[in-house]
């Protein structure tokens, strides 16, 4: 090690330990800042952790594959976290059962809007077909959206980026936008952000209000079901 | 703790197996969610189920722990943006504008539909 100061870096930069630590440390710092600003929407911890780690990878010339070898342990937990949504759902079952009809109607309207709006806008901007297909499932959670994208022969890693960007924008916009509309029904506010901005929106909703978080979680799970059925349909009818 | 995490993973595993076996276009973890929900509801009916991870806030505690850090789990996929910088340089402004407009429209449509449906339905309930 003392012979060559770079040999330690060469060893560490290839090990999952370094990149897992970098992911957790950066997020912990970004989350601390978010907490210090009393959860200001622009202090979104995902957004800031993302660009800081991204810049670090570019500066050190580390490939995403090497990074992901460490970060995959965090990424993996997306699945179990989806299962875990059963618990807040169970604990608020009476409130959820009472709102089942408005939820299903809002789900249909929101899910269709999320897909159709992005496809039509992308066509209006004249984006290439491959890009439109990859962006179509952007409102559902990363794992599901990547699956949909794969079945359309689009680029799943591009879909993941569209999904995360959508989630961050939704999480930043939702509170000011909803305050502007004057709607104070936290069930409706949570449900909307769960449909539009999946898990990142749900995480934001839990920060604002527990009921909003529960409804966001339900919306995100229901939307995962509906969108997997709707995107292939929408693509058939809208993308030429 | 370990038993609770195992139960969550087991629900997901059964979900993935079911989805693959039946070839339905539903994500495995969503089936796992339904499974865990059914287990928790069944526990209310059959108190004998309240043991191991289903007792003493076991699976509930583990789930709350996972959900409290939900945003962290999106960071690795988000960093994937470094692979797409050339594409963003070419179409970045259009992509950001499209996603932003789509998110705002979706939020407004969903929240308005929810509020309208819920007030219509509660009015229908009040009328005899």
Say how many domains are in chain A: 2
Distance, in Å, from the CA atom of A199 to the CA atom of A167, rounded to the nearest integer, reads 7
Indicate the residue among B46, B68, B90 that finishes a domain: B68
Domain encompassing residue B18? 1-68
What's the whole-model pTM score?
0.87
Indicate the residue among B52, B68, B84 that finishes a domain: B68
Distance, in Å, from the CA atom of A194 to the CA atom of A216, rounded to the nearest integer, reads 4
Q: Is A89 an interface residue toward B (CB < 8 Å)?
A: yes
Nearest to B33 among A77, A131, A221 (CB): A221
Statement to judge: residues A47 and A158 lie in one domain: no
Average pLDDT over residues B73-98: 90
Distance, in Å, from the CA atom of A100 to the CA atom of A89, rounded to the nearest integer, reads 12
C-alpha triplet A158, A223, B109: angle, nearest 5° = 95
Burial class of A122 by CB neighbour count within 10 A (0 to 12, 13 to 18, 19+): buried
Statement to judge: residues A142 and A157 lie in one domain: yes
Query: Which chain B residues touch A187 with a CB distance below 8 Å?
Result: 114, 118
Indicate the residue among A51, A76, A101 that finishes a domain: A76
Choose between A114 and A222: higher pLDDT.
Answer: A114
Distance, in Å, from the CA atom of A59 to the CA atom of A54, rounded to the nearest integer, reads 9
Nearest CA in chain B to A127: B91
Statement to judge: residues A69 and A90 lie in one domain: no
Give the single-character DSSP code of A15: S
Test A83 with B111 for CB contact under 8 angstroms.
Answer: no
Per-residue HEC secondary structure of A185-226 comes to CHHHHHHHHHHHHHHHHHHHHHHHCHHHHHHHHHHHHHHHHH
Statement to judge: residues B82 and B51 lie in one domain: no
Average pLDDT over residues B52-63: 87
Report the pLDDT value the prediction gives residue A1, as an integer from 0 to 100. 46
DSSP per-residue string spanning A94-162: HHHHHTHHHHHHHHHHHHHHHHHHHHHHHHHTT--HHHHHHHTTTTS-HHHHHHHHHHTTS-HHHHHHH
Statement to judge: residues B114 and B59 lie in one domain: no
Distance, in Å, from the CA atom of A168 to the CA atom of A165, rounded to the nearest integer, reads 5
Q: Do residues A194 and A174 lie in contact, with contact meaning Cβ atoms separated by under 8 Å?
A: no
Distance, in Å, from the CA atom of A63 to the CA atom of A207, rounded to the nearest integer, reads 33
Tell whether the model's pLDDT for residue A12 goes beyond 90: no
Report the pLDDT value the prediction gives residue B127, as an integer from 0 to 100. 62
Statement to judge: residues B42 and B5 lie in one domain: yes
Report the pLDDT value the prediction gives residue A59, as an integer from 0 to 100. 94
* Per-residue pLDDT band at A44 (split at 50, 70, 90): very high
Statement to judge: residues A215 and A109 lie in one domain: yes
Q: Is A71 an interface residue toward B (CB < 8 Å)?
A: yes
Statement to judge: residues B46 and B85 lie in one domain: no
Q: For residue A45, count other CB atoms closer than 10 A to its CB.
A: 29
Q: For residue A132, count other CB atoms closer than 10 A to its CB.
A: 21
Statement to judge: residues A226 and A141 lie in one domain: yes
Angstrom distances, CA of residue B81 to CA of A66, A141, B92: 14, 16, 11
ipTM: 0.89
Average pLDDT over residues A85-114: 91
Give the single-character DSSP code of B71: G
Closest CA to A192 of A143, A153, A139: A139
What would the two tokens of residue B9 be? 């993973």
What would the two tokens of residue B97 be? 């504008």
Choose between A158 and B109: higher pLDDT.
Answer: B109
Choose between B1 and B116: higher pLDDT.
Answer: B116
Test A89 with B33 for CB contact under 8 angstroms.
Answer: yes
Residues 107-126 of A with CB under 8 A from B: 109-110, 113-114, 117-118, 121-122, 125
Burial class of B61 by CB neighbour count within 10 A (0 to 12, 13 to 18, 19+): middle
* Per-residue pLDDT band at A2 (split at 50, 70, 90): low
Indicate the residue among A76, A110, A139 that finishes a domain: A76
Buried b / exposed e along A139-149 (16+ C-beta atoms within 10 A): bbbbbbbbbbb
Indicate the residue among A18, A45, A76 that finishes a domain: A76
Distance, in Å, from the CA atom of A222 to the CA atom of A205, rounded to the nearest integer, reads 16
Q: What is the pLDDT of residues A160-214, one digit of tens each?
A: 899 999 999 999 999 999 999 999 999 999 999 999 999 999 999 988 998 999 9
Q: For residue A154, count other CB atoms closer than 10 A to its CB.
A: 21
Q: Suggest the residue from A65, A70, A86 to mutate for an interface test with chain B (most B CBs closer than 10 A).
A: A86
Distance, in Å, from the CA atom of B90 to the CA atom of B12, rounded to the nearest integer, reads 39
Which residues are within 8 A (CB) of A26 and not within 5 positions of it... i.e. 6 or more apart?
Answer: A49, A52, A53, A56, B75
Domain encompassing residue A14? 5-76
Closest CA to A23 of A71, A78, A57: A71
Q: Is B42 an interface residue toward A (CB < 8 Å)?
A: no
Average pLDDT over residues B63-92: 89
Statement to judge: residues B33 and B55 lie in one domain: yes
Query: Which chain A residues touch B82 with a CB distance below 8 Å?
Result: 54, 57-58, 64
Report the pLDDT value the prediction gives residue A235, as an integer from 0 to 100. 86
Statement to judge: residues A40 and A151 lie in one domain: no
Tell whether the model's pLDDT for residue B17 goes beyond 60: yes
Statement to judge: residues A112 and A133 lie in one domain: yes
Statement to judge: residues B39 and B99 lie in one domain: no
């Amino acid at each position: 090690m003392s012979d060559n100061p770079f040999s330690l870096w060469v060893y560490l930069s290839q090990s999952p330990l370094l990149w897992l630590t970098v992911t957790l440390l950066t997020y912990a710092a970004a989350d601390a800042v978010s907490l210090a600003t009393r959860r200001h929407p622009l202090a979104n911890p995902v957004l800031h952790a993302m660009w800081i780690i991204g810049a670090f990878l570019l500066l050190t010339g580390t490939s995403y594959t090497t990074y992901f070898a460490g970060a995959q342990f965090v990424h993996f937990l997306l699945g179990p976290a989806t299962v875990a949504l059963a618990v807040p759902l169970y604990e608020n079952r009476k409130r959820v059962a009472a709102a089942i009809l408005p939820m299903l109607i809002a789900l249909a309207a929101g899910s269709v809007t999320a897909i159709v709006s992005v496809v039509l806008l992308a066509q209006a901007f004249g984006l290439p077909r491959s890009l439109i297909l990859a962006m179509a499932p952007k409102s559902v959670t990363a794992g599901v959206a990547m699956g949909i994208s794969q079945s359309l022969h689009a680029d799943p890693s591009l879909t993941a980026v569209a999904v995360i960007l959508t989630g961050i924008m939704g999480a930043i916009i939702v509170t000011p936008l909803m305050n502007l509309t004057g709607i104070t029904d936290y069930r409706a506010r949570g449900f909307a952000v769960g449909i539009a901005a999946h898990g990142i929106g749900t995480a934001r909703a839990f920060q604002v209000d527990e009921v909003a978080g529960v409804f966001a979680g339900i919306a995100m799970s229901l939307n995962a079901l509906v969108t997997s059925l709707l995107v292939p349909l929408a693509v058939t009818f809208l993308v030429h | 703790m370990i038993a609770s995490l195992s139960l969550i993973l087991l629900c997901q595993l059964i979900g993935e197996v079911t989805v693959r076996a039946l070839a339905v276009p539903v994500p495995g973890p969503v089936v796992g969610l339904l499974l865990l929900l059914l287990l928790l509801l069944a526990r209310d009916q059959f108190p004998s189920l309240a043991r191991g991870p289903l007792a003493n806030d076991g699976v509930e505690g583990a789930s709350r722990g996972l959900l409290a850090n939900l945003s962290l789990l999106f960071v690795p996929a988000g960093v994937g943006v470094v692979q797409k910088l050339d594409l963003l340089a070419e179409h970045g402004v259009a992509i950001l504008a499209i996603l932003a407009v789509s998110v705002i429209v979706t939020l407004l449509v969903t929240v308005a539909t929810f509020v309208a449906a819920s007030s219509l339905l509660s009015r229908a309930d009040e009328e005899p």
